[in-house]
A and B are shown apart, each in its own frame.
Chain A
Amino acid sequence: MEKRYGNLIVELACQLIAPFILLFGLYVIFHGHHSPGGGFQGGAILAAMAILLRLSLGMELTSRIFSPRLMPAFAAAGLLIFAGVGVAAIFGGGNFLDYGAIPVQGVSEPSLHHNGILLAELGIALSVFGVMLSIFDTLIRDK
């Protein structure tokens, strides 16, 4: 799995389908308020896209896009986004993760909840993506 798969049809098919999987993953994350979906599912779909590229194109080419060194940082960044939304609510005088208390002027409370959920889902998706891909990378690197 460190090398390319070496078959033209497989490599081309995976390259062709990857952008659509990426788009679908982003749709699942950002449309998670109105249809089945959300951070966990979208992050898993994005990780599946990256793993498909890793399997077909090899580590050397794909590490330029999704560097294995960056993945733990992605996971930590997602967790920090989630925690940051929670701490922002503390600054507004509410409890941890009480999105209604986030201090933004001129936004009604349900709308604050709506956007807080979106940020939290974004953090979850980033975290799931980073964790899945870093687990995959560490398991295939074994020599």
Chain B
Amino acid sequence: MAKLLSHWPYLLILVLMALGLYGVLSKHNLMKKVIGLNIFQSSIILFFISISAKWGATVPVIDPELDATDPSLYANPLPHVLMLTAIVVMVATLGVALSIIVLIYRRYHSLDEREILERMRQE
């Protein structure tokens, strides 16, 4: 129970992660699979951001009036940097996924996984 009090943000992230995994596994529409993949990715981004939090710390921008460089005053900037690039890469790879889906639809006239497999066997 004490663990629950100190770890509750990770639990919420775990719920999001399980939702994304369920979407990827159980949905047959390729579009919904991509949405599930994005939910999974968002949960990982939230996990990294929650790692960087410190109680009593502020945003990682050094205040010139304060002029203090005590590491316990500023949130950990490193996960922020990694996730900043990861978000943009996520959008770009989403674009690639969508264009591949467009190509699949042009060829098989369906987005349902089972129908696509059926038509691939017929060819």
Q: Are B99 and A132 in contact (CB under 8 A)?
A: no
- The number of chain B residues with a CB under 8 A from chain A is 12
Q: Which residues of B contact A40 (CB under 8 A)?
A: 84-85, 87-88
Taking Cβ atoms with an 8 Å cutoff, the residues of A that contact B are 34-36, 38, 40-41, 44, 128, 131-132, 135, 138-139, 142
Tell me, rounded to whole Å, the shortest Cβ–Cβ distance linking A97 to chain B: 15
A38 to B102, CA, bound (A): 33
Q: Which residues of B contact A132 (CB under 8 A)?
A: 91
Q: Are B61 and A35 in contact (CB under 8 A)?
A: yes
A35 to B61, CA, bound (A): 7
A72 to B92, CA, bound (A): 13
A34 to B60, CA, bound (A): 11
Q: Are B84 and A36 in contact (CB under 8 A)?
A: no
Interface string of B98-123 (1 = CB under 8 A from A): 11001000000000000000000000
Q: Which of A38, A41, A131, A138 contacts B99 (CB 8 A)?
A: A138
24 contacts between A and B (CB under 8 A): A34-B61, A35-B61, A36-B59, A36-B61, A38-B84, A40-B84, A40-B85, A40-B87, A40-B88, A41-B84, A44-B88, A44-B91, A128-B88, A131-B92, A132-B91, A135-B92, A135-B95, A135-B99, A138-B99, A139-B95, A139-B98, A139-B99, A139-B102, A142-B102
